Amino acid sequence: MQLRIGAVKTTMLICLSKAFLLTTPPNATFSIDESIPTMSKEERTAVYKRAEEIVKQAFARQPSYDDLLPALLKLGIEKLATECTMRVGVPIKPMLGNITKDLNDMAKILEGRQFTCEYKSPPRLPNPILPMATSNSYCTEADMSV
């Protein structure tokens, strides 16, 4: 039930990345880095994080364990990023941006870049998008009053 509703998806992807990073399946054409267990904690964490991101990105492009697992068995993690790509007719999962707590945090993150933002207001109120005076960005009227 948990897998069907996606409640443990992130945990599954992290476990898969570590499993394929540390072990080689029988008859695999790829090899693993035998030095991972002897690395320092910081180096090992960086290797784990990179592998997790590769597996998560591959799953975002091909959101099916039926596609992901055979690709991992055949290619390993390193080639997964280039070989497990989007296909016509397979919908991808929404990829959300970083959550920010307020407009000042967002302005720090996006400083010097062009962006468009939208304030979610109740449906009965108008929601116009107006140019911001300080940059080439766009913000709504409600954001400008903050």
- 76 and 131 part of one domain: no
Q: Same structural domain for residues 8 and 75?
A: yes
Residue span of the structural domain in which 131 resides? 103-144
Residue 98: inside a domain, yes or no?
no
Residue listed under structure tokens 């962006």: 115
If pLDDT is split at 50, 70 and 90, which confidence band does 46 have?
very high
Distances (CA, A) of 119 to 20, 87, 100: 42, 33, 13
DSSP string, 67-133: HHHHHHHHHHHHHHHHHS---TT-PPPP------SSHHHHHHHTTTS--B------TTS---EEE-S
Whether residue 116 sits in one domain with residue 79: no
Q: Catalytic residue numbers?
A: 120
Q: Tell whether 62 is covered by a domain.
A: yes
Residue 28 covered by a domain = yes
pTM strictly above 0.85: no
Q: For the segment 107-144, what is each residue's pLDDT rounded down to a tens digit?
A: 787 788 777 766 666 666 555 555 554 544 444 555 44
